[in-house]
Amino acid sequence: MKITETLLISASIGCFILWIMEFRRTGSFGEHYWLIMLCLAFLLGFQYVRTQRLNRSGQGPVVTFKQPKKKPTRKKKS
């Protein structure tokens, strides 16, 4: 795990803990919605950076799409 990944996951966990503390203090979900969104943004950033690193090193999952099967063609009778 690189330093950028560590910082992103730590920021995500930190925002989540702050949200829990603020939610318990005020009891209002709407006022501190931005903390949850910031937590999710850091989490998605972490996943993006990690996936990019794994794909560059060749260890990550390579997504391949299945080609749709072609229907067999019927020969026309003359």
| Angle at which helices 33-57 and 3-26 cross, to 10° | 160
At 29, is the secondary structure helix, strand, or coil?
coil
For each of the chain's 78 residues, which pLDDT tens digit applies?
789 999 999 999 999 999 999 999 998 888 889 999 999 999 999 999 998 988 888 776 666 667 777 777 777 776
How high is the pLDDT of residue 67?
75
Q: Look at residue 58 in the predicted model and tell me its pLDDT.
A: 78
Taking the C-alpha atoms of residue 27 and residue 16, their distance in angstroms, rounded to an integer, is 15
Position 19 scores a pLDDT of: 94
Per-domain residue ranges of the chain: 3-53
* pLDDT of amino acid 66: 74
pTM over 0.85: no
